[in-house]
Amino acid sequence: MLEDKPSRTELSEIGEFGLIELLTKNISLRNKSSVKGVGDDAAVIDYGDKQTLITKDLLIEGVHFDLTYVPLKHLGYKAVVVNLSDIVAMNGTPKQVIVGIGASNRFSVEAIEEIYKGIYLACDKYNVDIVGGDTVSSVSGLVISITAVGEANKEDIIFRNTAKKGDLLFVSGDLGAAYAGLLLLEREKATFKADPNMQPDLDGYDYILGRQLKPEARTDVLELLKKTGVKPTSMIDISDGLASEMLHLCHDSDLGGAIYEDKIPIDITTAGVAEEFNIDPTTCAMNGGEDYELLFTISQNDYEKLKGVDGLSVIGHMSEKNEGVNLISRSGTYVPIEAQGWNAFFKK
Amino acid sequence: MLEDKPSRTELSEIGEFGLIELLTKNISLRNKSSVKGVGDDAAVIDYGDKQTLITKDLLIEGVHFDLTYVPLKHLGYKAVVVNLSDIVAMNGTPKQVIVGIGASNRFSVEAIEEIYKGIYLACDKYNVDIVGGDTVSSVSGLVISITAVGEANKEDIIFRNTAKKGDLLFVSGDLGAAYAGLLLLEREKATFKADPNMQPDLDGYDYILGRQLKPEARTDVLELLKKTGVKPTSMIDISDGLASEMLHLCHDSDLGGAIYEDKIPIDITTAGVAEEFNIDPTTCAMNGGEDYELLFTISQNDYEKLKGVDGLSVIGHMSEKNEGVNLISRSGTYVPIEAQGWNAFFKK
């Protein structure tokens, strides 16, 4: 992918300060709370009486992404979005990001700029300021570390540990698509390795490829909830898969819970790809991860307000801790949910 | 170093969640502003009417540190301190850190814990809370990404771009020692490679080795300045070397400036080591970096208040932009200061 670039400037040609200058010269601050952005020892953020939310994620080449099929621009976009999604999962509004990139000399200045183009695009879309950046050399591979900062009124913040017994479990959008997209991309990579003249066969898979390569943070779901007047009792974003996130909600709230298999929203394309790969679509949803949908609980009293709202599905409920955390299969069998989610140390 | 450990738990044995649990179970929050720490999508920090400062640094094995001579605990300590130093350089009080670690399976759980021991130690010393952590797998090597958050009253924050013509230039402590320490450690490494039976010969070098391996953030200098009633007109911490930081102050404040070579504070051990290596001690101070001392400017009216204060040296002044940025040598020659500071992309 890098070989296609018309020009290649070595990082050593422009140096660290040259690169920072190049990457940050177009940044303009749009949030009043962004008092000082890049160009000093630290960013200055003023929140008055709001509360500050901060999150960070580290993305490492060969572990979290594979540059043989992930375009650099998409990578930059996704690196920002996965962090914004964490702010959204607290019912906060993302406001700032700080970007750290470690790149070996395998990467040209143009390659780093391409990553930044994706970062800019995400920041534009979500109205977020870049208030700091640090680009350093790495011995091998690419590392992207993003810190996202958001704001929320104290009373609006939604934690993971505040679900109540009897609460209903909702999820936004559909699940498993990002994992199905990954399966396809991995297959194309294997095919390409076997025969570099093969053309990728990805027609008709736009939706699930987009879910893998260009996920979105569900700020729109927060808007929707606000409109309906419902404040979830607990919330988390689905980065590691439904199973893992459900266990977090139950564990942290000291509850049990159940998810009904037949209620899990799965797109028809996802189901089709799962079938092609001989994988149960439910497994894609439960353990695939990277969907960045919101999983939340609401009081039963609020059910009427969300019932039938487009893009939200009720998939289960919270119960006593001693009832355990179960998936109730189509046949009515209770299957204990285990943490088989994406595990950084099992994935090679 | 890792081979000496009595036990070795593979990261894959305890998994991602197990590791997070292990590393975070002893964290208790000490700052009132730390509303929510690890264990949710994002940390929650409440600043009321204070301003928030945020900074981050990415440290990469083989570039920023060499594990053949840097103990893991020291590494964890230093990774925190270099970030706190950025908050201090804004005249802020460090309050929280968020820790991201990427480690390959070359590292055991005990190794990661050792890094965390250093992180805890630094947080204890500086009264800082760990409010988030993310430990992921890396394909090769170790990556540490720390985000530090601090607070300051709006009127107390000191930027880089607010120095005035005629202001006096001060520096805390002494310079070049961290680089002299690095020279020694690199020599020992080379000696050890040539003959593994050689014992390291580091007697009498405690001070400069400490400066390299266990730097401190100069919160005490901020206290000192507060006591004297002097507020610097601009400030920066010396991470890349005096030359580079002076250029930042001058460039950002749209000024020229001069540093008097004979005024630069250099410890006698540093000068001795520089001589051993046939390097000008001034070069160590100007281009060595990693001293984490504070470089700041004050109004001439404040000079009497700082004159003779122990641990602070006046080393130059700010002038018109067209006079350039110069080092005035012992013989009175004006030598233009160039950005030869530590450059991530020239260092292999």
pLDDT value of position A2: 43
Confidence of residue B297 (pLDDT cuts 50, 70, 90): very high
With an 8 Å Cβ cutoff, are A56 and B100 in contact? yes
Domain B168-336 is found in CATH 3.40.228.10:
no
In chain B, whose CA is at the least distance from the CA of A156?
Answer: B44
> Is residue A89's pLDDT more than 90?
yes
Note whether B102 contacts A: Cβ–Cβ < 8 A.
yes
With an 8 Å Cβ cutoff, are A345 and B101 in contact? no
> Residues B328-338: what's their mean pLDDT?
94
Give the range among A99-113, B6-20, B297-311 with minimum mean pLDDT.
B6-20
Kindly report the nearest CA distance between residue A80 and chain B, in angstroms: 14
Confidence of residue B154 (pLDDT cuts 50, 70, 90): confident
> Is residue B68's pLDDT more than 80?
yes
> Residues A96-124: what's their mean pLDDT?
90
> Is residue A1's pLDDT more than 50?
no
Confidence of residue B156 (pLDDT cuts 50, 70, 90): very high
Chain segment B215-229, per-residue pLDDT in tens:
999 999 999 999 999
Give the range among A23-37, A72-86, A157-171, B292-306 with minimum mean pLDDT.
A23-37
> Residues A85-94: what's their mean pLDDT?
94
Confidence of residue B6 (pLDDT cuts 50, 70, 90): low
One-letter-per-residue 3-state SS of chain A: CHHHCCCCCCHHHHHHHHHHHHHHCCCCCCCCCEEECCCCCCEEEECCCCEEEEEEEEEEECCCECCCCCCHHHHHHHHHHHHHHHHHCCCCEEEEEEEEEEECCCCCHHHHHHHHHHHHHHHHHHCCEEEEEEEEECCCCEEEEEEEEEEECHHHCCCCCCCCCCCEEEEECCCCHHHHHHHHHHHHHHHHHHCCCCCCCCCCCHHHHHHHHCCCCCHHHHHHHHHHCCCCCEEEECCCCHHHHHHHHHHHHCCEEEEEHHHCCCCHHHHHHHHHCCCCHHHHHHHCCCCCCEEEEECHHHHHHHCCCCCEEEEEEEECHHHCEEEECCCCCEEECCCCCCCCCCCC
Taking contacts as CB-CB distances below 8 angstroms, the residues of chain A near B339 are: 15, 17
Chain segment A174-221, per-residue pLDDT in tens:
999 999 999 999 998 888 888 877 776 778 899 999 999 999 999 999
Domain ranges of chain B: 2-156, 168-336
With an 8 Å Cβ cutoff, are B159 and A49 in contact? no
B36: CB partners within 8 A, 6+ apart: A157, A159, B43, B44, B131
Interface probe with A: pick from B29, B52, B66, B252, most Cβ of A within 10 Å:
B52
Span B2-156: which CATH code? Answer: 3.30.1330.10
Taking contacts as CB-CB distances below 8 angstroms, the residues of chain B near A44 are: 51-53, 90, 157
Average model confidence (pLDDT) for chain A?
Answer: 88
pLDDT value of position B133: 73
Distance between CA A150 and CA A148 in Å, rounded?
Answer: 7
> Is residue B207's pLDDT more than 90?
yes
pLDDT value of position B346: 35
- Token pair, residue A166, equals 């009897």
pLDDT value of position A340: 60
Q: List, as ranges, residues 305-324 from B with C-beta within 8 Å of A.
A: none
With an 8 Å Cβ cutoff, are B145 and A141 in contact? no
- The ipTM value here is 0.84
In chain B, whose CA is at the least distance from the CA of A160?
Answer: B40
Q: Which pTM value belongs to this model?
A: 0.88
Share of residues in chain B with pLDDT > 70 (%): 93
